[in-house]
């Protein structure tokens, strides 16, 4: 530094010595010695403006990104989360047992409908062949048919007194005068052993109510029940004329097209049973019971089929549910009494036959059934009186008449 100062002084002296220069020439001032502290001070003066510019740019950038540029998607702001107390939501539980029961019931109903449709289709296919021409124009009215006293014999195991009962059936028309019931083998007087099965060749022809004669009226004046009755009447006339397939086809078509045609469906079931088609008859009865569970005619058809199949206890269980009064349907209670006797419900059979004889004391077969029930429970003297009453009234089949007389003699001898 001293060298530099000397040089400056030398230059200054030379300048004063140059002619033509102003006297007041500027004096050169020696340079101040440069230190690192002064350099840092000058650098700090540059940093502050730079920082200020950066801050301004940052603020501008934040402002631009916050409000969003034109055409740009807005930036989602984080929402403030406010903590609140959590209330548990109680969801009521479904009753699983009820749901399962409802589903099972719906499934059973659907299966039942499919089963009925399949049975009806099967019956229609079985009855269709050979039925191209069916005469359905009879010009006369059918006369009412009266039930005859036909009977089945029921017996108990060895060691039990004779207990035979009649199964109520309708008498065939003139074109079919076969025996309505099978005859039981006569047993020794000391220990008679009657049979337990109902004969398989039971005849069932007529509907529950006789087909009454009706005046010819216009179709618009006929009620559905009367139309149903006329269908039964025409079918029975075809059956009497030995046109059995035509009669069955007629009843089957009418009952299929009219769900409430109970008399036609019941008659169809009875005719099928008469010609030996017990399973088809049972199917028609089941279809009818699915539509009208309390219909007595269907229950009687099904009960007869059960007795012919050797399950009289099932027939008793069916007939005991919502049974009609004895006065309104004595045939129903006669069949119930026969099933009770065959199922060895002797006390129940005794009460049923007592109700029947109290309602009508002129039916020989009911007195015979009452005697058989009393005989089974050990009331032999009263049984002999009932047998005698049945013999006096008459109308019994030869087999039942013979068994009544044999039991009377055996009881009197003891």
Q: What is the mean pLDDT of residues 224-244?
A: 90
Which residues lie closer than 8 Å to 322 by C-beta, 6 or more apart? 294
pLDDT score for 39: 55
Please provide the average confidence, as pLDDT, over all residues in the chain: 69
pLDDT score for 129: 44
Longest dimension (CA), the chain: 197
Which residues lie closer than 8 Å to 341 by C-beta, 6 or more apart? 154, 163, 164, 165, 349, 369, 372, 373, 376
> Which range, of 8-22, 106-120, 141-155, averages the lowest pLDDT?
141-155
Please give the C-alpha separations between residue 123 and each of 175, 277, 289, in angstroms, as whole numbers. 25, 11, 17
Rounded to whole angstroms, the Cα distance separating 89 from 160 reads 73
pLDDT, greater one: 358 or 219: 358
Q: Which domains does the chain have, with CATH numbers?
A: 99-145+205-294 (no CATH), 151-200+310-414 (1.25.40.10)
CB 184 within 8 A of CB 397: no
Cα angle, residue 407 at apex, residues 151 and 189 outer, rounded to 5°: 110
Top mean pLDDT of 32-36, 123-127, 291-295 is at 291-295
Question: Which pLDDT band holds residue 12 (cuts at 50, 70, 90)?
Answer: confident
What letters, b where the CB count within 10 A reaches 16 and e where it falls short, cover 19-38? Answer: eeeeeeeeeeeeeeeeeeee
Count CB neighbours of 319 within 10 A.
24
**Joined tokens for residue 414:** 């003891």
Question: Which pLDDT band holds residue 367 (cuts at 50, 70, 90)?
Answer: very high
pLDDT score for 26: 52
pLDDT, greater one: 279 or 171: 279
Question: Which pLDDT band holds residue 212 (cuts at 50, 70, 90)?
Answer: very low
Q: What is the mean pLDDT of residues 212-227?
A: 60
pLDDT score for 99: 53
Question: Which pLDDT band holds residue 115 (cuts at 50, 70, 90)?
Answer: low
CB 147 within 8 A of CB 170: yes
Rounded to whole angstroms, the Cα distance separating 30 from 10 reads 11
CB 167 within 8 A of CB 201: no
**Joined tokens for residue 188:** 């020794």
Count CB neighbours of 374 within 10 A.
25
Rounded to whole angstroms, the Cα distance separating 112 from 262 reads 19
- 273: buried, middle or exposed (CB in 10 Å: 19+, 13-18, 0-12)? buried
Percentage of the chain with pLDDT > 90? 36
- Tens of pLDDT along 251-272? 999 999 998 899 999 999 999 9
Torsion sign over Cα 206, 208, 209, 215: negative
- Does the pLDDT of residue 372 top 90, yes or no? yes
- Tens of pLDDT along 31-86? 444 455 555 556 666 777 778 888 888 877 777 665 554 444 444 454 544 444 44
- Does the pLDDT of residue 186 top 50, yes or no? no
Q: What is the mean pLDDT of residues 174-201?
A: 33
Q: What is the mean pLDDT of residues 273-288?
A: 90
Helix orientation angle between 330-342 and 312-319, rounded to the nearest 10 degrees: 140
> Which range, of 48-52, 150-154, 320-324, 346-350, averages the lowest pLDDT?
150-154
Rounded to whole angstroms, the Cα distance separating 221 from 119 reads 34
pLDDT score for 203: 41
- Does the pLDDT of residue 400 top 80, yes or no? yes
Percentage of the chain with pLDDT > 70? 54
Top mean pLDDT of 10-19, 152-161, 185-194 is at 10-19
- Does the pLDDT of residue 322 top 70, yes or no? yes
Rounded to whole angstroms, the Cα distance separating 376 from 347 reads 9
Rounded to whole angstroms, the Cα distance separating 351 from 357 reads 10
**Joined tokens for residue 194:** 């009657």
Please give the C-alpha separations between residue 193 and each of 160, 334, 341, 375, 414, in angstroms, as whole numbers. 7, 22, 14, 13, 18
């Amino acid at each position: 530094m001293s060298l530099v100062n000397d040089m400056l002084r030398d230059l200054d002296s030379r300048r004063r010595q140059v002619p033509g220069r102003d006297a007041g020439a500027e004096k050169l001032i020696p340079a101040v010695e440069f230190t690192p502290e002064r350099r840092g001070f000058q650098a700090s003066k540059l940093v502050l403006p730079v920082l200020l510019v950066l801050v301004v740019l940052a603020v501008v950038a934040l402002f631009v990104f916050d409000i969003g540029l034109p055409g740009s998607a807005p930036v989602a702001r984080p929402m403030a989360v406010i903590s609140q107390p959590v209330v548990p939501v109680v969801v009521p539980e479904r009753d699983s047992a009820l749901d399962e029961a409802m589903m099972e019931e719906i499934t059973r109903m659907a299966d039942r409908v499919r089963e009925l449709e399949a049975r009806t289709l099967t019956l229609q296919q079985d009855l269709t062949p050979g039925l191209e021409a069916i005469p359905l124009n009879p010009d006369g009215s059918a006369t009412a048919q009266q039930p005859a006293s036909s009977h089945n014999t029921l017996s108990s195991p060895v060691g039990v007194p004779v207990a035979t009962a009649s199964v109520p059936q309708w008498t065939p028309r003139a074109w079919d005068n076969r025996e309505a019931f099978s005859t039981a083998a006569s047993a020794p007087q000391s220990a008679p052993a009657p049979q337990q099965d109902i004969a398989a060749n039971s005849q069932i022809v007529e509907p529950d109510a006789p087909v009454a004669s009706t005046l010819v009226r216009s179709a618009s004046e006929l009620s559905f029940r009367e139309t149903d009755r006329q269908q039964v009447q025409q079918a029975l006339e075809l059956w009497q004329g030995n046109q059995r397939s035509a009669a069955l086809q007629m009843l089957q078509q009418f009952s299929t097209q009219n769900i409430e045609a109970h008399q036609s469906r019941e008659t169809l079931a009875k005719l099928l049973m008469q010609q030996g088609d017990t399973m088809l008859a049972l199917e028609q009865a089941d279809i009818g019971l699915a539509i009208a569970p309390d219909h007595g005619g269907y229950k009687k058809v099904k009960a007869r089929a059960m007795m012919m199949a050797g399950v009289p206890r099932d027939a008793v269980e069916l007939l005991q549910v919502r049974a009609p009064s004895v006065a309104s349907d004595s045939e129903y209670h006669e069949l119930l009494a026969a099933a009770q006797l065959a199922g060895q419900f002797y006390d129940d059979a005794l009460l049923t036959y007592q109700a029947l004889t109290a309602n009508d004391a002129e039916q020989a077969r009911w007195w015979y059934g009452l005697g058989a029930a009393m005989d089974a429970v050990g009331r032999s003297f009263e049984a002999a009186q009932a047998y005698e009453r049945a013999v006096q009234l008459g109308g019994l089949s030869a087999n039942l008449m013979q068994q009544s007389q044999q039991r009377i003699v055996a009881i009197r001898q003891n």
